[in-house]
Amino acid sequence: MAKDFYEILGVSKDASDQDIKKAYRKLAQKYHPDKHKGDKEAEGKFKEANEAYEVLSDKQKRQNYDTFGSAGPQGFGGAGGQGFSDAGFDFSNFSGSGGFADIFETFFGGNAAGGGGSKKKGPRPGSDIEFQLQLSFEEAAFGTDRELLITKPVGCDHCQGTGAEPGSKSISCDLCNGTGEIRQVRQTLFGQMATSRPCTKCHGEGRVHEKQCTVCQGSTRIKRDEKVKVKIPAGVDNDSTIRLSGKGEAGVFGGPNGDLYVHVRVAPSKKFVRNGYDIHSEVHIHLLQAILGDEIKVDTLKEKIGLKIPAGTQSGKVFRLKDYGIEKLRESGMGDQYVKVIVDIPGKLTKKEKDLYMQLAQESKIPLKGKEGFLDKLMK
């Protein structure tokens, strides 16, 4: 039974290209062989995710896959005969503009009858790169500029990305005689059939370099450390992703560069707790400040400001500071700051303080019972 690529990536059949790409990146990062050395199960899941993404990320391949379904196309066997699917052949992974010719290519090693149109080596895009960036709470709130050091394949400066040693000539491939393809005639269940495939030496180009580049050994790319500047906008939060177009790995044979995806992680703050674009903080005040009222200084993201504490404020009271939160990322305006007041009960009293509290209790007509009351305990 064919694999369900949508189930492998964990997406629905109507998932967008972006959803498919996001799901693949998550699985690839989770099961990457570098993280699970020697783990065959993780290696298998990584390969499955790659296989699924290769099909579903290509519009034509995905359309073909959706058309045939997980069991493949039926009925090639003719009336009363056994179809290829019933015989155990699964065509759900065959795709591309070649249609039925792709099936011949897979089974017989090339294009059907005539062998024209071999798939030549052409420009290939570079791979995307993912980077984890740690930010402080304040950097995420206000935004910042960072310079990242990325090790990645870049175009070879020595050969200018051609793979040939400068000054060397391009000569006809001696394996395919300059045709770019290897032709074969095979006996199949359909009879004799001519097939062709791209030449393994010149990769379908028909010509090879007389001398490969001495720096990149013909690969057209070399690994190098590169500094990449990234602007972090104000208001980013955990799991925010910033895409830098063209800052990924260099393409091959003139192909476009991949992209760089910067995944943001924000360190917690000792003073504030974030909730969306709002922030929450606490401030401790004395019992008498709560009873009589006061004006205190509280920390905000930018500076200390005055906060009026009304007389009779209860512990746990929350005050709202409008527009003292975090700048909103994709819309105008600011979040708010919420300050929770914690009323501290004195831990120890002097004799004079006890006398004053006793007078206050008498004035308030509060009977204090017992030989050792609460105030006596505070004086110990």
Q: Give the domain CATH number at 57.
A: 1.10.287.110
Residue 112 located in a structural domain: no
Same domain, 137 and 246: yes
Has residue 106 been placed in a domain? no
Give the residue among 255, 124, 123, 105 at the shortest CA–CA distance from 181.
105
Q: Are residues 9 and 38 in the same domain?
A: yes
**205, 236, 267: which is the final residue of a domain?**
267
Of the chain, the percentage scoring pLDDT greater than 70 comes to: 80
pTM, whole model, 2 decimals?
0.57
Does 172 map to a domain?
no
Q: Decide if pLDDT at 107 tops 60.
A: no
Is the same domain home to 64 and 147? no
Q: Which residue is it, tokens 């500076």?
A: 303
Asked whether residue 287 falls in the same domain as residue 358, the answer is: no
Final residue of a domain: which of 97, 117, 149? Answer: 97
**Model confidence over 185-237: pLDDT tens digits?**
777 666 677 778 888 877 777 878 888 899 998 888 999 999 999 999 999 99
Domain range holding 48? 1-97
247 with 277, same domain: the answer is: no
CB atoms near residue 210 (< 10 Å)? 12
pLDDT of 113: 40
Are 334 and 366 found together in one domain?
A: no
Highest-confidence segment of 53-67, 148-162, 170-184, 289-303:
289-303
User: Quick one: three-class SS letters along 30-66?
Assistant: HCCCCCCCCCHHHHHHHHHHHHHHHHHCCHHHHHHHH
- pLDDT at residue 93, as a whole number: 43
Give one DSSP letter per residue of 297-333, joined into a string. Answer: EEE-SS-EEEEEE-TTPPTT-EEEETT-SPBPSSSSS
Count CB neighbours of 212 within 10 A.
16
Weakest mean pLDDT among 58-67, 127-136, 314-323: 58-67
Cβ distance 29 to 130 under 8 Å? Answer: yes
Q: What is the pLDDT of residues 285-334, one digit of tens each?
A: 999 999 999 999 999 999 999 999 999 999 999 999 999 999 998 889 99
Above 80 in pLDDT, residue 90?
no
Verify that 138 and 249 share a domain, yes or no: yes
Mean pLDDT over all residues of the chain? 81
| Residue 371 main-chain phi, psi, to 5 deg | -65, -40
pLDDT at 298: 97
Provide the pairing of β-strand 129-135 with 260-266.
parallel
- Residues 297 and 247 placed together within one structural domain of the fold: no
Rounded Cα distance between 52 and 328, Å, is 37
- Candidates 10, 102, 100; CA nearest to 53 is 10
175 occurs within a structural domain: no
Residue 94 has pLDDT above 60, yes or no: no
The whole-number pLDDT of residue 280 equals: 98
226 lies in the same domain as 325: no
pLDDT bracket for residue 370 (50, 70, 90): low
Query: Confidence band (pLDDT; 50, 70, 90) for 119?
Result: very low
Q: Is residue 190 part of a domain?
A: no
Let me know how many helices (H) and strands (E) the chain has, helices first: 9, 15
Token readout for 296 is: 């205190």
For the domain that residue 277 is a member of, what is the CATH number?
Answer: 2.60.260.20
Note whether residue 250 is domain-resident.
Answer: yes
For residue 203, is it within any domain?
no
Per-residue pLDDT band for 243 (boundaries 50, 70, 90) equals: very high
Q: Which residue would you say has higher pLDDT here, 24 or 272? A: 272
Let me know whether 20 and 144 are in one domain: no
DSSP alpha helix (H) spans, the chain:
5-9, 17-30, 40-56, 59-68, 100-108, 137-142, 287-292, 351-363, 374-379
> How many domains are contained in the chain?
4
Domain end call among 248, 267, 286: 267
Q: Is the domain of 16 the same as that of 65?
A: yes
| pLDDT of residue 9 exceeding 80 | yes
Nearest in space to 326 (alpha carbons), one of 361, 300, 352: 300
One domain for residues 37 and 84 = yes
Which of 299, 96, 324, 98 lies closest to 195, judged by CA?
98
Residue 156 lies in a domain: yes
